[in-house]
Structure 1
Amino acid sequence: MAHIGPAYGSLAANQAKISAKRDPALDQEVQTWIETIIGEKFPNGSYEDALKDGVILCKLMNKLQPNSIPKYATSGGSFKLRENIALFQTAARAYGLEDAELFQSVDLFEKRNIPQVTQCLFALGRHAQRHHFNGPILGPKMSEANMREFTEEQLNAAKNALPLLNEGMNKGANQSGQNFGLTRHI
């Protein structure tokens, strides 16, 4: 990884915005969820450092969807470790995550947008619930479709109903036009 110097100007402002979005409580909640699922503690260090090489993410995907990542690197150079992140992203897409829910590999590997990584893992937790994963739950329950069936009689009754605007929603409006064009003198 190349050394990136300090940011100035708009880049510094953008990085400050991203840092402000970070919530350590959410990071801790994700960490606890992952540790429970994979059955091992994060190594000592920060949350982002533990996830950086993608090994934990690959283990997580294999627990949620067995053999979704059959082979991943546990050591090696930065290129091999970045491939782990790409393998995780591909498996997460196959699991049902949308591209908008994923993060870019530089977001994690170079620690540019850790809040996006956390949000991705929350999305993965929601999808795990939908896949009826029998482990711990992360985040709110994912919504499900609630299709309604109406009879032809109910649909016709709705067509004949008066809209709310005609039912008195505009009581305060002046229908006579008496105050039109008048101004208030201060």
Structure 2
Amino acid sequence: MAYQGPAYGLSRECMLKSRAKFDMDKALQVLEWIEKVTDLELNPPNPERGFEDFVDFCDCLKDGMALCRLINRIMPGAVTKINKSVSPFKQMENIEMFLKGCLKYGLKSWDMFQVNDLYEKKNPYLVVNCLFSLGGLAQRNGFDGPVVGVKVADENKRIFTREQLEMGKTVLSLQTGTNRGASQAGMTPYGSTRQILPDRR
């Protein structure tokens, strides 16, 4: 990975906003969940260190091995080969395979993160959000292991008959409003000066 150097201007502003969204408590919950599901020790960051904790969080997961093992426990066979090499390319490939496994499992694209969000520590909060979404989806899909996040709601699809749909066209919604009182009677003509007159009683 090439050294990118310090960020300035708009890039620095975006970076600081992204880091401000990172919640260390949620990150620690996610790491604890991964440890319980995978039986791995991730050496989570020390919450007392402060602002740079997201670096330690990303370092715990950046090789992608724990993530691949996680998705394999939730959906066996999602990742067929986990790379154990320390090569950056192989580690990024692990993260990519985890993300593909999440999509197969049913996670929505808007709940995902990009490889660089984790590997280059660009948006660590997206990684945390993705793992929380995965935990919620696992609960809905009947995963019987440890859980994290809120269970994703089941779809409640409604089916209407043709008659019901036609009846809906005959009802004026409240957004339609009313034409009662829409008359311009008594108003001054367009373009004329405003008449401010005292009350005559």
Cα 1:184/1:109, change in 2 over 3 Å: farther
Partner of 2:85: 75
Q: Which residue of 2 aligns with 1:7?
A: 7
Give 1:107's aligned residue. 117
Give the corresponding residue for 1:61: 71
In 2 relative to 1, CA 163–13 (structure 1 residues): closer, same or farther, beyond 3 Å? Answer: closer
Q: Structure 1 length as normaliser, TM-score?
A: 0.81
Runs (5+) with no aligned partner, structure 2: 46-55, 197-201
Letter in 2 for 1:81: Q
Alignment of structure 1 residues 159-178 onto 2, 5 Å? 161=171, 163-164=173-174, 174-175=181-182, 177=184
The two structures, once aligned, show a CA RMSD in angstroms of 2.7
- CA–CA distance in 1 between the matches of 2:135 and 2:146? 9
Q: Secondary structure at the match of 2:4?
A: coil
User: What TM-score, normalized to structure 2?
Assistant: 0.76
Q: How much has 1:156 moved relative to structure 2?
A: 6.8
1:115 Cα offset (Å): 0.7
Say which one has the larger Rg: 2
Shift of 1:93: 1.2
Deviation at 1:43, TM superposition (A): 2.6
Q: Aligned residues: percent identity? A: 38
Which stretch shows the higher mean deviation, 80-89 or 143-152? 143-152
Is structure 2 residue 106 aligned with structure 1 residue 96?
Answer: yes
Q: Structure 2: how far apart are the matches of 1:81 and 1:156? A: 57
The size of the alignment, in residue pairs, is: 182
What is residue 87 of structure 1 aligned with on the other side? 97
Q: In the TM superposition, what is the alpha-carbon distance from 1:128 to its structure 2 partner?
A: 0.9
- How far residue 32 of structure 1 moved from its aligned partner, in angstroms, is 1.8
Equivalent positions of 1:18-167 (< 5 A) are 18-43=18-43, 45=45, 46-149=56-159, 161=171, 163-164=173-174
Of 28-37 and 41-50, deviating more is: 41-50
Change (3 A) 1:16 1:162: closer
3-state DSSP class of the match of 1:85? helix
Specify the SS of the correspondent of 1:75: coil
Name the SS for the 2:118 alignment partner: helix
For the Cα contact (< 8 Å) 2:37–2:70, is it kept in 1?
yes
